[in-house]
């Protein structure tokens, strides 16, 4: 992959890039990445300001471990992060530390690490909780509405079945 950067340093077995720009990608102000027992090729980085998110996509054929820090201002909690493996949401095999370092272990193929929130460029230090965690709140509301609708449908179906059973004619006894 062709790219440019204003600075790259290798310290404590981690590469730290400043202003990394890959072909077809937006410039990345900060990236710290290291790999243990794996080779990594970074393909893409993008920022979506409409639905605030940062996404780093890379490839590894080895089931080792990758540590990725995209330098987000407020790393948030794990609910603000998603890892995709070959386009599928992954719930196991990764975690995020308090400083925003995502550790991916044992996953192979095309991997995407996505942070939902405001980037360093937009800043979020003075934003209220509900704006910092709007994605997590929206997902929670959508989940609650879905469960509410499912419960309502289930109750209506049971009520309808009870009414149908009580309206059946009784057989005459001889």
Q: What is the pTM of this model?
A: 0.63
Answer yes or no: is 174 within a domain: no
Do residues 139 and 89 both lie within one domain?
no
User: Can you spell out the DSSP letters for the chain?
Assistant: --EE-SEEEEETTEEEEEEEEETTS--EEEEEEEEES---EEEEEEEETTTTEEEEEEEESS-SEEEEE---SS---GGGEEEEETTEEE-SSEEE-TTSEEEEES--EEEEEEEES--TTT--TTS-HHHHTHHHHHHHHHHHHHHHHHHHHHHHHHHHHHHHHHTSPPPPP-
Do residues 115 and 30 both lie within one domain?
yes
Provide the pLDDT for residue 127. 63
Per-residue pLDDT tens over the stretch 113-167 = 988 874 444 445 556 776 667 777 888 888 899 999 999 998 988 888 877 666 6
Answer yes or no: is 58 within a domain: yes
Provide the pLDDT for residue 50. 67
The total number of structural domains that make up the chain: 2
Residue 93 has pLDDT above 90, yes or no: yes
Answer yes or no: is 81 within a domain: yes
CATH code of the domain containing 18:
2.60.40
Answer yes or no: is 145 within a domain: yes
Answer yes or no: is 18 within a domain: yes
Do residues 122 and 147 both lie within one domain?
no
Q: What is the mean pLDDT of the chain?
A: 82
Domain extent at residue 62: 3-127
Provide the pLDDT for residue 99. 84
Half-sphere exposure of 107 (CA within 13 A, CB side): 26
Do residues 62 and 103 both lie within one domain?
yes
């Amino acid at each position: 992959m062709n790219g440019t950067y204003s600075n790259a340093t290798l310290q404590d077995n981690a590469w730290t890039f400043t202003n990394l720009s890959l072909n077809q990608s937006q410039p990345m102000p900060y990236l710290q990445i290291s790999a243990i027992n794996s080779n990594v090729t970074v393909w893409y980085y993008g920022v979506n300001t409409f639905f605030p998110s940062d996404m780093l996509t890379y490839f590894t054929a080895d089931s080792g471990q990758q540590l990725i820090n995209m330098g987000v201002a407020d790393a948030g909690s794990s609910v603000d992060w998603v890892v995709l493996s070959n386009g599928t949401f992954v719930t196991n095999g990764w975690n995020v530390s308090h400083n925003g370092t995502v550790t991916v272990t044992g996953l192979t193929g095309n991997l995407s690490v996505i942070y939902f929130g405001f980037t360093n460029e937009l800043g979020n230090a003075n934003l209220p909780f509900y704006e910092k965690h709007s994605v997590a709140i929206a997902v929670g509301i959508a989940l609650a509405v879905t469960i509410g609708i499912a419960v309502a449908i289930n109750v209506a179906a049971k009520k309808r079945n009870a009414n149908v059973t009580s309206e059946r004619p009784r057989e005459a006894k001889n």
